[in-house]
DNA sequence: AATGAATGAGCATTCATTCAT
DNA sequence: GATGAATGAATGCTCATTCAT
């Protein structure tokens, strides 16, 4: 039923680009039930807004309909039930959030510079308003929907750790870093990069994302500490 | 109607002042409505069990009554509504959880040894089953009950950071460590100590608390990294 | 959950006898949840009115609540769901309807007279407004609730057939009737007694129960036919 | 809006006069909206299948569309609403079921033989799976759709009774039977012929139609009883 | 003071019907 | 003329809260 035609996983755009419109118009005048990607995105966008503000249980399907601008019937054509809607909403959000980050390690500069760029990316991402909201919801639902937590972690944190890990191994082999346990090092670096911010944000302690300057400073210190321990 | 007598948020004393206590005990066996601390604890214990297993919304007041072994009427004498019961339950749990930790830094040994002991304590605490469940619930409810998150952080993380921070300042002044920004250093050390575990546990990625051995290893590395960056 | 205190299936009395009232009042002031037979009867009475007029599906639980003068919550304490309420309603009605009949065969008079009295009883019963409504509902639900039909037949028709059958056997042995297949004879006699009426009433062809005179005439003919075939 | 082509059944026919029909057939292959009898039959066939299995309320228009292989729009062109579709479906089924029977009384043989043949026909018909399902549905809906019950009885039972009645009158006049009240006699004979079976089948007590042998035996006894009472 | 039966607003979900394509 | 996506009123049911006992 689910995530049909989101080819690039990045367009949450509600106003569809004209080009695609034309293309569709050419091939078929009307979408099959539950198959119009534009409508699906519209529902997900509304659901996201409501879930984000009220959480899974407090969000009523009625509010979601209103927020999405579709009728209940339509909503239930696209998603079997509230749970599926939630899971899919989180999935789309996760995809949208995690898309951009992964290339930073391939950038130019010294290891410290590359690390720094990556650290800033991670810190910015993890503490962005949307990511925090998504993570809060997922964490809050882990007991009742364990799969959701697994997937979220798997496709978020795990992936970054993998990238970073591989990069550490390469750097170590090239003799530019001294890393025995690259996974541990990767985890350490990620924790250091968002030091304090993530936790604070999760608990609502800091209502707004940290400023770029705060992040920069934090990551700079993270790199300093990290290089002190692992640099040659 | 939070009839808790906790004036400074640190005393968990539920028992009413001695004078009244005595008087009561002497003159009548029976407590005023909603004033029997034993019954209050009993309710909180039941509520904690149910909330922990089902979360705030999915937990029904009925189950809580059953779990606590009291009637609905009684429950509503002690707590105004579900929300208050939840907040108080979390509060008690937080107090219970955070009680033990704070003395570790005053222990004997080199700075590295003291740090190590403290790191193990923090990591063990933060990833214990009860703490994880409590944190998940709090995080999941932050949007709807921001106060709850604030307090939880304030009286948990913040406090440890404060202790650690003060300790760093002292060690720096004594010339045993080189710490410019003790708060940042404290945050870094705490993140390093529970590296990876906390996040994983929150997301249900790791169903059981890390073993003492895992924690030991993780903290050892944390101390190593930390000392490399901040040691003299 | 269901039919608590109906020990002998005979008391459908909605207005409880004063004696019982007193007794209850003496032993406990209040009934357990879902255990007050007066309230149960009240709900069943309301449900019967609504089901009778609209049928199972068209009857809404809301209407039933209103008709019964109880809240939805209460209703759902006494009956697990709509289906159970329906089944129990039908059961009570069946018991109430079928209670009176069975003694007629033991009455005085010639076999023809006894038969006649019984035939009138059966015909009157089967075509009474309440019986017709109950039978219509049961028949209409047989596909979805086969048990219901089975029980209804089992405890209604089957029982009468059994009585009649036994009576025929006795009469045959006493040499007053010539009956080879007493079950068939019993069925024949019952069909003859309500000849045409039952079917007509079921299909709504005859809005009111047949008059006593009509019944008398019909049964008289039934007895005549029957005695012509089975009399000595 | 019942555009059925059933000329005799009391002329519900809204269908246009033959002339226009021809004209249409000649000039264009396409029927006016809701006028293609093949499509109408197709819908009725699908509706019958679904109604038969689920009953009026539980059957959804969606399932019926699927079963009939037409779209909802089309369905609603042919039938104003669910109720009308149901009524028409029942009507067609009634016609189909009752079509075959009426000639049996004109067959050869003694009165007893003719009666026997007719009785077998009636018993077989009334207890056939399709007839039982149809009758159950009609009976279950009588309260909400009284017309439906009236018509069903009128064009089913009533008709047979009429035939049989006329036959009895003829036989009586010919001196072959002694019948005072031919209508009563007809009802008696019909009840005797399906003795027990009809009721049992209606209540789901007997999941399959009675075997030919069972029917034969039952009718044989019916004829015996009947002739004992009415034969010369 | 304690109880738990009763309440009814609120929920997720279904489905007969309409109407733009 | 046919389609089937969209609608939203209506349903069965739950559960936080109240209050008579």
Distance A70 CA to F7 C1' (A): 9
Chains B and A in direct contact, meaning 3 or more beta-carbon pairs closer than 8 angstroms: yes
Q: Does A189 touch chain B (CB under 8 A)?
A: no
**What local confidence, expressed as pLDDT, does residue B99 receive?**
76
Q: Does A203 touch chain B (CB under 8 A)?
A: yes
| Average pLDDT for B162-176 | 91
| pTM beyond 0.85, yes or no | no
Contact C150 D188 (CB under 8 A): no
- Beta-strand ranges (E) seen in A81-134 are none
Q: Ramachandran region of residue B189, left (φ > 0), alpha (ψ -120 to 50) or beta?
A: alpha
Superfamily of domain C100-230: Tetracycline Repressor, domain 2 (1.10.357.10)
Residue B140 with chain A: CB contacts under 8 Å: 55, 136-137, 139-141
Å between C165 CA and nearest CA of chain D? 13
The DSSP bridge partners found for residue A231 are A177
Residue predicted with more confidence, B29 or D116: D116
- Sequence spans of domains, chain A: 18-95, 100-230
Contact A136 B139 (CB under 8 A): yes
**What local confidence, expressed as pLDDT, does residue D26 receive?**
41
Distance A75 CA to F6 C1' (A): 10
Using C1' positions and the CA of A38, the closest nucleotide is: F5
Domains B18-95 and B100-230 fall in the same CATH topology: no
Nearest to C136 by CA among D83, D153, D202: D202
Q: Does C99 touch chain D (CB under 8 A)?
A: no
Nearest to A107 by CA among A99, A117, A98: A117
C204 strand E contact, CB < 7 Å: no
Q: Which residues of chain A have pLDDT under 70?
A: 1-34, 100, 103
| Average pLDDT for D204-210 | 94
* Tens digit of each residue's pLDDT (9 = 90 or more) over B126-154: 999 999 999 999 999 999 999 999 999 98
* Tens digit of each residue's pLDDT (9 = 90 or more) over D69-111: 999 999 999 999 999 999 999 999 988 888 767 666 677 888 8
| Chain E bases near protein Cβ (<7 Å) | 1-21
Percent of chain D topping pLDDT 70: 83
* Residues 137-156, chain D, touching C (beta carbon < 8 A): 137-144, 146, 149-150, 152-154
Residue C143 with chain D: CB contacts under 8 Å: 53-55, 133, 136, 204
C81 strand F contact, CB < 7 Å: yes
Q: Is residue C179 pLDDT above 80, yes or no?
A: yes
Q: Which residue is nearest to nucleotide F14 (CA to C1')?
A: C73
What CATH number does the domain located at D18-95 have?
1.10.10.60
Contact A184 B221 (CB under 8 A): yes
- What 3 state SS string does chain D have? CCCCCCCCCCCCCCCCCHHHHHHHHHHCCCCCCCCCHHHHHHHHHHHHHHHHHHHHHHCCHHHHHHHHCCCHHHHHHHCCCHHHHHHHHHHHHHHHHHCCHHHHHHCCCCHHHHHHHHHHHHHHHHHCHHHHHHHHHHHHHCCCCHHHHHHHHHHCHHHHHHHHHHHHHHHHHCCCECCCCHHHHHHHHHHHHCCCHHHHHHCCCCCCCCCHHHHHHHHHHHHHHHHHHHEC
Question: Cβ neighbours of residue D64 under 8 Å, at least 6 residues apart?
Answer: D43, D46, D47, D50, D51, D75, D85
Å between A153 CA and nearest CA of chain B? 7
Residue A54 with chain B: CB contacts under 8 Å: 143-144
Check residues 45 to 74 of chain A and report those whose beta carbon is under 7 Å from nucleic acid strand F.
Answer: 70-74
D39 strand F contact, CB < 7 Å: yes
* Residues 37-66, chain A, touching B (beta carbon < 8 A): 52-58
Least-confidence region, from A48-57, A127-136, B186-195, C102-111? C102-111
The DSSP bridge partners found for residue D177 are D231
User: Within its chain, how far is the Cα of D11 from the centroid?
Assistant: 17
**What local confidence, expressed as pLDDT, does residue D22 receive?**
42
**What local confidence, expressed as pLDDT, does residue A10 receive?**
35
Residue A226 with chain B: CB contacts under 8 Å: 225
Q: What is the dihedral of CA B145, B151, B154, B157, to 10 degrees?
A: -80
């Amino acid at each position: 039923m689910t995530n049909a035609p989101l080819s690039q996983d990045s367009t949450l755009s509600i106003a569809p680009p004209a080009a695609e419109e034309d293309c569709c118009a050419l091939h078929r005048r009307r979408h099959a039930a539950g198959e119009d990607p534009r409508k699906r995105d519209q529902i997900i966008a509304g659901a996201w807004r409501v879930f984000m503000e009220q959480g899974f249980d407090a969000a009523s399907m009625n509010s979601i309909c209103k927020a999405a601008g579709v009728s209940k019937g339509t909503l239930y054509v696209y998603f079997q039930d509230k749970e599926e809607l939630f899971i899919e909403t989180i999935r789309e959000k996760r995809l949208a959030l995690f898309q951009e980050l992964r290339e930073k390690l391939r950038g130019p500069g010294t290891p410290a510079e590359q690390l720094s760029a990556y650290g800033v990316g991670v810190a910015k991402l993890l503490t962005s308003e949307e990511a925090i909201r998504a993570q809060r919801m997922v964490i809050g639902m882990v007991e009742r929907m364990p799969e959701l937590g697994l997937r979220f972690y798997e496709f978020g944190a795990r992936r970054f750790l993998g990238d970073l890990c591989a990069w550490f191994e390469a750097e170590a082999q090239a003799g530019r870093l001294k890393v025995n346990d690259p996974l541990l090092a990767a985890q350490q670096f990620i924790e250091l990069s968002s030091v304090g911010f993530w936790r604070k944000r999760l608990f609502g302690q800091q209502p707004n994302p940290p400023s770029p300057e705060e992040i920069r400073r934090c990551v700079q210190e993270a790199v300093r500490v990290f290089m002190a321990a692992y640099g040659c």
